[in-house]
Structure 1
Amino acid sequence: MIKLFSALILSLFVSLSANAADYSDGNGYTTIKTPVRTSDPSKIEVTEIFWYGCPHCYQLEPLVQAWKKDLPSDVDFKFLPAVFGRGWLAHAKAFYVADLLGMEDKVRADIFNTIHVERRNLNSEDALASFFANYGVSEDEFRKQYDSFAVNSRLKQADAKIRAYGARGVPGIIVNGKYLVSAQTANGNENIFKVVDFLIEKERQK
Structure 2
Amino acid sequence: MEKTAQLLKGKVALVRTPVGAHRPAWILSQQAYYLAQKFKIVNQVHSKIFARIHEQHQPFSTEADLEAFFVEQGIDKTVLQKTIGSADAKLALENYEAQTQLAQIRGVPSLLVNGKYLIKASVSDAQALSELILYLANKPD
* TM-score bracket relative to the smaller structure: 0.7 to 0.9
CA distance in 2, matches of 1:117, 1:162: 24
CA distance in 2, matches of 1:144, 1:181: 37
Give the structure 2 partner of residue 176 of structure 1. Answer: 114
CA distance in 2, matches of 1:74, 1:120: 35
Give the structure 1 partner of residue 81 of structure 2. Answer: 143
CA distance in 1, matches of 2:115, 2:83: 29
Larger radius of gyration: 1
Give the structure 2 partner of residue 29 of structure 1. Answer: none
CA distance in 1, matches of 2:5, 2:88: 26
Give the structure 1 partner of residue 136 of structure 2. Answer: 199
* TM-aligned CA distance change 1:118 to 1:76, over 3 Å: same
Q: Secondary structure at the match of 2:60?
A: coil
User: Do 1:90 and 1:124's aligned partners in 2 also have CA atoms closer than 8 Å?
Assistant: yes
Structure 1 position 72, deviation (Å): 5.2
* Aligned partner letter, 2:138: E
* Aligned partner letter, 1:67: T
The partner residue of 2:124 within 161, 166, 189 is: 189
CA distance in 2, matches of 1:172, 1:151: 23
CA distance in 2, matches of 1:65, 1:121: 21
Structure 1 position 74, deviation (Å): 5.5
* TM-score, normalising length: structure 2: 0.85
Listed as ranges, the gaps of 5+ residues in structure 2 are none
Pairing 1:129–2:64 present? no
* TM-aligned CA distance change 1:151 to 1:101, over 3 Å: same
What is the Cα-based RMSD across aligned positions, in Å?
1.9
Give the structure 1 partner of residue 5 of structure 2. Answer: 68
Q: For 1:17-56, list aligned pairs within 5 A.
A: none
The partner residue of 1:78 within 1, 12, 15 is: 15
Q: Secondary structure at the match of 1:189?
A: coil
CA distance in 2, matches of 1:79, 1:70: 16
* TM-aligned CA distance change 1:118 to 1:160, over 3 Å: closer
Percent identity reads 25
* TM-aligned CA distance change 1:153 to 1:111, over 3 Å: same
* TM-aligned CA distance change 1:93 to 1:120, over 3 Å: same
User: Do 1:114 and 1:120's aligned partners in 2 also have CA atoms closer than 8 Å?
Assistant: yes
Give the structure 2 partner of residue 59 of structure 1. Answer: none
User: Do 1:122 and 1:128's aligned partners in 2 also have CA atoms closer than 8 Å?
Assistant: yes
* TM-score, normalising length: structure 1: 0.60
Q: Secondary structure at the match of 1:129?
A: helix
* TM-aligned CA distance change 1:97 to 1:72, over 3 Å: closer
Give the structure 2 partner of residue 159 of structure 1. Answer: 97
